[in-house]
Structure 1
Amino acid sequence: MSRLRGLWEASISATKKALSWNVEDLMPPSEKYVFRFNSIDELKRWHLYSDSEYGGLSSASLEIENVGTGHNGIFSGHLSSDVSDGSKWRMNRSGFCGMRSKKFDGFIDLEAYDTIAMKLKGDGRYYISTIYTENWVNAPGQQEDNTWQAFVRLPKDNWYIAKIPLTSYMPTWRGNVVDVRLEMNPSRILGMSLSVNAEGGPPGSVSGSGDFKLEIDWIKALRT
């Protein structure tokens, strides 16, 4: 009888504990770091690209500033709308540079989050935030990752936390918005990028050929 009573009391205790759980305990954290630009090793997770791969004259670099004291990444370079003489490529446009993360080990799951936040210091230009997801929406002839893009507008020369809802990212195909109703699959994110173009962008942005500089502290996912 004592053994049965003990099992009964243990069962009652477990039930009370289960009922007392806070829903918050079952949820993931309200924010999740995706990238922190705080070490040289962090830069190894990224690679650079520009129109120079196709005969353009733009260039870019990615460095860590203040190593050992306080850290942030610096994505900088020069945008040129010109094309090198004798280029074998027929370019539709030039004047672009970007930094893209290498593919994650598998993918990251941001299903529990609804916003991408980035602590940045800009230069008056507009930047483009891109998310790459597993190719589950197939366009004709498309073998690449699905691409989702949003503009990032920043005040000049001041640190700013840009918050972009995942619903604001538009599906794109080779730089053009796909004019169909699609939804991102945030549970299968393969990588991210930040890029800059010499031309275009929201009204009031700095545009044209010339230098650019974007400082980056971190990139997070938020549940707002």
Structure 2
Amino acid sequence: MSLRTLTRAKPNFKIFQKPEFRTFQTILDFKNNPNSINEVITRSDKEIGGFSICKFVVDPKLKYGTFKGYLNLDLPQDNPTVTRSGYAMFRTKDQKESWITGESYWDWTSYDNLVLRVRGDARKYLVNVQANTPLITDLFQHRLYLNTPGNWETIVIPLSDFVMTNWGIVQNIEMDRSEIKTVGIGLVDKSYGPFKLDIDWIKVMTDEELYSYNT
């Protein structure tokens, strides 16, 4: 069916209707949408022969997500090309393509902050935002600073504070907020041992919404 036929069949259907402005957008919310687990994937150094273990689960009663596992820095003995190992992360899945516009993205141009409700340990985590950039290894990153490990915290990261990196090398490129592909959190603190990070929700908010939330 062509677009012309579709619009004739449904004259009130507005294909290019301007979306309603909202002061926040939910990325993941395990309390109100347990099916958010279906939007999460994990990755680790096992992809290069490493030995770290990680998984992401949702507590069916308490309704929050947990990213946990064991970080192992050992190098695979059968692959001498690997000189560094020891990483684990989770991220949202690539968004489904639109039949109208092709590849799909989040548009964050109206938002100012990434806000996370989390409970972590004393490990060092990085928040990763992937935008539509020339290289798939480009990431916009920021430390997830936890003030009270072991307790729930609401962490606010201004989107303007994210820095683009490629394989750990800082790039002087500003984030294009109109084409956001994925959001995730990784552990790369180069320390052996277990880790655990609980996630209630992740959202983007305007400054006005953040002020309203805090008051």
Give the TM-score of the pair, scaled to structure 2: 0.78
- Of 75, 85, 92, 2:67 maps to 75
1: CA distance, partners of 2:89 / 2:34? 18
Pick one of 125, 129, 144 that aligns with 1:152: 144
Say if 1:89 and 1:103 are closer, same or farther in 2 by CA, change over 3 A: farther
> How far, CA to CA, are the matches of 1:184 and 1:58 in structure 2?
30
SS in 1 for 2:94: coil
Q: CA deviation at 1:42?
A: 1.5
Deviation at 1:96, TM superposition (A): 0.9
Q: What is the CA-CA distance between 1:30 and the residue it aligns to?
A: 2.5
Q: Please state how far the C-alpha of 1:29 moved relative to its aligned partner.
A: 2.9
When residues 173 and 73 of structure 1 are mapped into structure 2, their CA distance, relative to the original with a 3 A threshold, is: same
Structure 1: distance between partners of 2:192 and 2:137 = 30
Amino acid at match of 1:91: V
2-structure distance, mates of 1:102, 1:89: 31
The answer (yes or no) to whether the contact 2:137–2:167 under 8 Å persists in 1 is no
Report the aligned-residue RMSD.
Answer: 1.9
- Give 2:156's match in structure 1, choosing from 163, 168, 171: 163
Report % sequence identity.
26
Q: Distance in 2 between matches of 1:145 and 1:33?
A: 25
Q: Number of residue pairs matched?
A: 180
Q: Which runs of 5+ in 2 are unaligned?
A: 1-19, 97-103, 208-215
Structure 2 partner of 1:41: 35
In the TM superposition, 1:112-191 aligns within 5 A as 112-135=110-133, 138=134, 142=135, 144=136, 146-154=138-146, 155-178=148-171, 180=172, 182-191=173-182
Aligned to 1:24: none
In structure 2, C-alpha distance between the alignment counterparts of 1:89 and 1:56, rounded to whole Å: 12
Structure 1 partner of 2:99: none
Asked if 1:212 corresponds to 2:195, the answer is yes
By how many angstroms is 1:92 displaced?
3.5
Equivalent in the alignment of 2:89: 98
2: CA distance, partners of 1:60 / 1:161: 24
Gaps of 5+ in 1: 1-26, 200-207
Of structures 1 and 2, the larger Rg is shown by: 1
- Shift in Å at residue 40 of structure 1? 5.0
With normalisation by structure 1, the TM-score equals 0.75
The aligned residue for residue 108 of structure 2 is: 110
Q: Is the 8 A contact 1:134 1:145 kept in 2?
A: no
Structure-2 separation of matches of 1:176 and 1:92 = 17
